[in-house]
Amino acid sequence: MSKNNNYPTISVGDILRPTIVEVNISRLRENFEAIKAKVGASKIMPILKANAYGHGLVQTARLMEEFGADYLGVAVLEEGVLLRELGIRLPILVLGGIIGNQIPLFIENDLTITASSPDKIKQINETAEQLNKKAKVHLKIDTGLERIGVHYYSSEKFIEEALKCKWLEVEGIYSHFASSYSSDKSYTNLQLERFNDVLEYFEKNSLKPPIRHIANSGAILQHKDSYFDLVRPGIMCYGVYPSEDVERSVRVLPTLSWKSRVVYFKVIKPNHPVGYDSTWQSDHNVRAVTVPVGYGDGYFRSMHKSAQVIIRGKRYPIIGGIAMDQIIVNIENDSAFNNDEVCLIGNDGNERISVEELANWAGTIPYEILTNINTRVPRVYY
């Protein structure tokens, strides 16, 4: 373990497991700077939920703090508490819904609470009074996602009640888009119109509005009028676009590579089935290698009919099923040796396998690929 710019980095020599995730710090910084240039005066809240989209929660938080982020966003209380325990001092908003017995931990750890109903407002205020310490909250408005938050058409009374609470610091108000990454912008425009209508409460009552925010990655890319005071880039921080259809008005590059190594070489004879359930066999001799990665690491079992890896700059197919901890790769008549690098996501020579490609193989979305890379896979920062 070595120290660099106040955050630890792990070198390949520090770990024993051949399967690793590499995170490119320079690209992460470049993506942050590109987003910053796009949104101008708006503050930036990088979203770090689900282990920072597979990039490592704590290290990514430290990097974002170094890059100049204004706020951090996480999904659950435990993520926020961990960051506080490990020295992150930036404001942290927990985006998810809460239950009453969590409130003291929010207040004690100086975490910002998503206040999503009148009952929650009352609970937070009462707990803050008992602790003799104000609670910082962002009011959540539901403009059309129907997840958590007070409906836009019932928001006025909700805002009034929140502002009357003596033990609340109403620092922000926000909503979330349902389809800001879509080429059809009509529903996003409707949600934005509803949010603007809610915000008129402050002007009508001659009140300075709290921090206003609604723009996620898709909105940053194609809805400039949604930036308000703060934006919440998620997947685009990590160099992945939220959909194939979204406008790519900001150039971002992938920051994550997923690699393993060959641990076994064999020749498989004709008509000798490979893997669980004997789903694959050849009519001729094939050379094959075993690679220590599987669905226990987040390498989806559903990809087995399509998945490929790169070895020595060339693509090869996976054969048989994807097991919990291992895959088998058909290299036909080529050569590969123990300890040869195997690229699962990233570049090797002129070949590249993207997160989007894995998502297509698995029948899912890039978000799920990134967030399912298990924490037993070491993260290496370079």
Task: Express each pLDDT in 136-177 by its tens digit.
Answer: 999 999 999 999 999 999 999 999 999 999 999 999 999 999
Taking the C-alpha atoms of residue 152 and residue 154, their distance in angstroms, rounded to an integer, is 5
- Tell me the catalytic residues: 49, 276
**Residue 41: which residues within 8 A CB-CB, separation 6 or more?**
none
- The domains found in the chain, sorted by start residue, are 25-238 (3.20.20.10), 256-381 (2.40.37.10)
Burial of 6 per CB tally in 10 Å (0-12, 13-18, 19+): exposed
End-to-end CA distance of the chain: 12
> Going by C-beta distance under 8 Å and a sequence separation of 6 or more, which residues neighbour residue 85?
none
Question: Cα–Cα–Cα angle for 240, 90, 43, nearest 5°?
Answer: 60
The residue among 209, 222, 256 whose CA lies nearest residue 355 is 256
Secondary structure E strands in 98-167? 112-115, 135-142, 150-151
Local confidence pLDDT in tens for the 382 residues of the chain:
333 344 445 555 566 899 999 999 999 999 999 999 999 999 999 999 999 999 999 999 999 999 999 999 999 999 999 999 999 999 999 999 999 899 999 999 999 999 999 999 999 999 999 999 999 999 999 999 999 999 999 999 999 999 999 999 999 999 999 999 999 999 999 999 999 999 999 999 999 999 999 999 999 999 999 999 999 999 999 999 999 999 999 999 999 999 999 999 999 999 999 999 999 999 999 999 999 999 999 999 999 999 999 999 999 999 999 999 999 999 999 999 999 999 999 999 999 999 999 999 999 999 999 999 999 999 999 9
Residues 271 and 373: their CA atoms lie apart, in Å, by 34
Task: Report the relative pairing of strands 211-215 and 168-174 from DSSP bridges.
Answer: parallel
Cβ neighbors of 128 (< 8 A, separation 6 or more) are 103, 107, 134, 135, 167, 168
